[in-house]
Structure 1
Amino acid sequence: MDDAPRCTVPIKLDVPGESRGDLHQTKDQFLHCANRTSDWAWRYDDYCITSKSKAEKALYGELREETNLTANLVQKGIRRAIEAVTGGVEKLKQGEKTSQPYFDSWSVVYDKRSATFNGDHATLSTPNGRLTAEYVLPPKDEREDTPFGRYYASDDWDASNATLQYDEQADEFYLHVTLKNPDYKVESEHQEVESRDEAPENGVVLGVDLNVTGAFAVTSTGEFIGSADSLTHKRDEYERRRGRLQQTGTRSAHLTIQSIGSRFLDWSLDWLHNRANDLIEEAHNADVDGIIFENLDHIRENIANSSKFQQWTSVTFVELVEYKVESTELFVDLVNPAYTSQRCSYCGFTHEDNRDDKHFKCQDCGYEVNADYNAAKNIAVRYCGYIHRGQKSRGGWATSQLALKSGTLNVNGDYTPTKLSG
């Protein structure tokens, strides 16, 4: 549990007239997700569902199709409903009267995956893309004594999430930004409060390379997770069957196409959920602090010539991992993927001839290894390099290491073997 102190700063937004409808549409679809989840989870005749993972597994695919929201906003809508249902269940257990949660108040929940919180503006995800809204602030010389100046503009507080609200009478939008103090340490009965200088000097990260052939995900510890080929094969089988039914052209065939499409989507999401669990288990086994992927924009561009399904599986997989680690101490971050497939993870020599499909052989030092495994190590190395050059890490570290099969390696090439117990 994160016990860092929090505060909320309301900020008025200057939303362009042509974009105001986008925010109202976002609210409508967000509340739709919450109310659909509430309908599904609230079951007097059976039992109420209070598991966020079960709700997402059952509803995520349908809600993505029913709305134009990003995955994160759909997940937030599901989570809001499940939290309300859980609260209702607790009231019932205590003998209190309550009813199924229903959401009609104007609000949308954002976090750093669906919004960016900048010094003078925010960008917010909507069904029609990202919207930029300027902050309506007092003059600079008057901000110091305001909540914005004391908290939002302070380096000691980080924006973690926000709730967008609308004042109907004034026709104004407000972003209620929640900030927390990342340097705060909980003082227990046997432990004194730690200062920032006593924070961990070093963290360990797991690099992950995603693929459309061979292993679906390969880690810097040498774990090969899932088969991208079998996933593609399953998709091809579905497409062939759909093609035959489309040629038939009957109403019965059309209904069958809808049915098998829904089953295939459910199967695909279940498969991705399981592979995400496999990756998180590997991260825990390797005792790492973070999981590092390539930038999602690159994933889309890298497989732009492949099917939209392959793009969807890669992006959805990362989103699922992000969602699943929210309740753990793990984090997910992204790096620029440039040349990770061409760089030698052993000596650093970079050349396009180093990689031949799934085989990697360095033209300089002769290092040979599976190409995806080499790329996964480079992804982690790049993140370690960011930290080495002073970029702030998610864990507040001064340095970082990458997890390998039998130990860790830092950005300077210093290897630390895994300590064997007993």
Structure 2
Amino acid sequence: MEVRRTVPVTLDVDSPDAVLLEETIDEFLWAAQYVTDHAFQEEYVTTSKATLNDDTYDDVREATNLHSNHVQSARNKAAEACESVVERWKQGKKASKPHFTSPHLVYESRTATFHDGYVSLATIDGRIEADYVLPENPEDTPHQQYLFNDDFEITSAELHRQHGEWQLHICCTADVESDTSAQATTENGTVLGVDLGVNQLAVASTGRFWSGDEFDHWRREYEKRRGDLHEHGTRWAHENIQSVGRKEEGRFTQTLHRISNELVEEARENECTVIAFEDLTDIRERTGASWGHKWAFNRLYEYVEYKAEAYEVAVEQVPPEHTSRRCSECGFTHPDNRNGTHFECLKCSYQNGADYNAAKNIGLRYLRRNQTGDDGGAPVGVRLNSGTLNVNGGYSPAEESARTGVHAESPPL
């Protein structure tokens, strides 16, 4: 089977080269938006890459200094975004014309050359070279396991500006044989359930939670800044909108890296072999989340996935149906069990934070889907802050009662 891994690598970029990269990103985003605007001009939305290429390629090449492959990548971005909108319309869901504000730049084999210690990147004015900034001890890191592993092939990359630093998200692929022994361990291991939401970005079945207050505050702040600049309508304002977008992504990405590190550490400290999330498809409709939240959920999942891999912790998604309405204690499911952020079972009267209850249900759903039997006495269940909960609702106290700190943190009510 094909395995895909994304490895983020920080780049050491000189000031003149940084200006070139920023200008290249601005032209790339302009190109993607130009193609999107053209696709939405007719009575129907054009999603064909071939048609969009015929209609816009010459215009974009004439208006920008982008490499031909960057023009094609921008067209692909636009076509995929338009196709996503049309698909949502077919499902009877709301969707509007995409707008490209998040600063990023797609690189493929003809626009990037990867070397052992540096990368060569195409810009609007020739190529630049940037050294990798690697960990002091690269052993047992994604860099060593994937980026510098001859079994993996680098297929593409995305350049991002994050909190004043340049980072290249490098996609690596490999064909590997399925490891049935690893699958058996996963099926019979201890699971950390994780619920994602608006009020709490993430809540783990151990009771640890990560508030969304800071995320929401800065999301509103950056939206206000962009709105104020958009009213001016000048080139200066447009350039500053792009700058605000770079700062926004940098701040949010740094936050999501921190949360993903802490989630993986939570799983390791609790000896979990699996981290289970709900399926992220249609999460906006289920949670009332914004596009910004959906981006954060997807990015957080990706970060946890590749970071957990380094410690042989699997990351999975499970169907989300009724995880917020089902009682994790007795299994009774009813829409009135949940009232906002509070959960109270109408059958057994169990009460707790709604997100915490959902996190336990997500872990239990993974066990029900995957557990095949007893594994000789190893702890099998969903990890709580003081023990494990098995698929039959049975509770086992932790072997070590001295778990303190974040593991004993009470879930939000």
Normalised by the length of structure 2, the TM-score is: 0.57
Where in structure 1 are there 5+ consecutive unaligned residues? 1-5, 9-17, 55-74, 88-105, 111-160, 164-176, 185-195
CA distance in structure 2 between the partners assigned to 1:235 and 1:7 by the alignment: 36
Instruction: Tell me which residue corresponds to 1:269.
Output: 253
Q: Shift of the alpha carbon at 1:294?
A: 0.3
Q: Deviations over 1:200-234 (max 9, x none)?
A: 98310000000112x21101110012x21221110
Contact 1:7 1:180 (8 Å CA) reproduced? no
The within-5 A match list for 1:318-329 is 318-329=301-312
Name the residue aligned to 1:244.
Answer: 228
1:342-353 map, 5 Å:
342-353=325-336
Q: What is the letter of the counterpart of residue 120 of structure 2?
A: D
Write the mapping of 1:286-305 to structure 2, written as runs, cut at 5 A: 286-303=270-287
The match for 2:237 among 240, 246, 253 is: 253
| Runs of 4+ in structure 1 over 6 Å off | 18-22, 24-28
Asked if the contact 1:50–1:83 (Cα under 8 Å) also holds between the matched residues in 2, the reply is no
Which SS does the other structure have where 2:260 is aligned?
Answer: helix
2:197 maps to 211
Which amino acid in 1 is paired with 2:191? V
For residues 302-327 of structure 1, what are the alpha-carbon distances to aligned partners after superposition, in whole Å with 9 as ceiling and x for unaligned? Answer: 24x54211111111111111111121
Amino acid aligned to 1:411: V
* Cα 1:237–1:229 shift into 2, 3 Å: same
Quick check: 1:388–1:399 contact (8 Å CA) kept in 2?
no
Work out the CA distance in 1 between the residues paired with 2:154 and 2:273: 33
Q: Which residue of 1 aligns with 2:324?
A: 341
Shift of 1:421: 7.1
2:148 partner SS: helix
Please name the residue that 1:371 is paired with.
Answer: 354
Rounded Cα–Cα distance in structure 2 between residues aligned with 1:79 and 1:181: 17
The answer to whether the aligner puts 1:49 opposite 2:133 as a matched pair is: yes
Q: Where do 1:178-217 residues align within 5 Å?
A: 178-183=176-181, 202-213=188-199, 215-217=200-202
Structure 1 CA distance for aligned equivalents of residues 111 and 299 of structure 2? 18
Match of 2:96 in 1: none
Alpha-carbon offset, residue 32 of structure 1: 5.9
Are the equivalent residues in 1 in contact too, given 2:187–2:370 (CA < 8 A)? no
Q: Deviations over 1:160-183 (max 9, x none)?
A: x965xxxxxxxxxxxxx4325444
**Matches of 2:371 and 2:397 in 1, distance apart?**
21
Q: Which residue identity does 2:134 align to in structure 1?
A: T
Q: Which residue of 2 aligns with 1:360?
A: 343
Compared with structure 1, are the counterparts of its residues 336 and 52 closer, same or farther at alpha carbon in structure 2 (3 Å cutoff)? farther
SS in 2 for 1:280: helix
Q: Secondary structure at the match of 1:271?
A: helix
Match of 2:120 in 1: 39
Partner of residue 420, structure 1: 400
| Structure 2 CA distance for partners of 1:31 and 1:359, relative to 1, 3 Å | same
TM-score by length of 1: 0.56
**Secondary structure of the structure 2 residue equivalent to 1:339:** coil
Say if 1:238 and 1:264, in contact at 8 Å, map to a contact too: yes
- Aligned residue runs from structure 1 range 125-144, under 5 A: none
- 1:118 is matched with which residue? none
Which structure would you say has the larger RCO, counting Cα contacts within 8 Å and 6 or more residues apart?
2
Shift of 1:237: 0.5
Residue identity opposite 1:406 in structure 2: S
Displacement after TM superposition at 1:7 (Å) = 12
Partner of 2:297: 314
Residues 357 and 248 of structure 1: is their aligned pair in 2 closer, same or farther, counting only changes over 3 Å?
Answer: same
Partners in 1 of 2:145 and 2:224 — Cα distance? 36
Q: Name the count of aligned residue pairs.
A: 279
